[in-house]
Amino acid sequence: MPRTISFRPDKDGMRKILTSEDVRKDLLRRAEKIADRVRHTTDTGVFSRAPGGIIADSYTGRERAGATVIGVPLAYEADHRPLGAAVDAARD
């Protein structure tokens, strides 16, 4: 017979996990996978001093964490979709 389990999130615990160095590193790993995919599929239209013209970074804040991949001009993305297609590379 199925049992009902009750769960109440602990905001302080969730905040500690979300802002942890491990989460930041995982987000950076995923952002780098996206950036690497774009670096290998794009040879023109990228303007940046980073390797291959693509910058990947991650951050944690007080209540959030995130990652950013920057370097493809919107016009190039609209025509060729290298960044949009590369998002799948970050999925496990």
Would you state the pLDDT for residue 74? 61
Residues with Cβ within 8 Å of residue 28, at least 6 apart in sequence: 56, 57, 58, 67
pLDDT per residue, tens digit, the chain (92 aa), is 788 988 888 988 888 888 899 999 999 999 888 888 777 765 555 545 555 567 788 888 887 888 888 775 666 677 777 777 777 777 76
The reported pLDDT for the residue numbered 15 is 87
Residue 73 pLDDT: 65
What is the per-residue pLDDT for 85?
A: 77
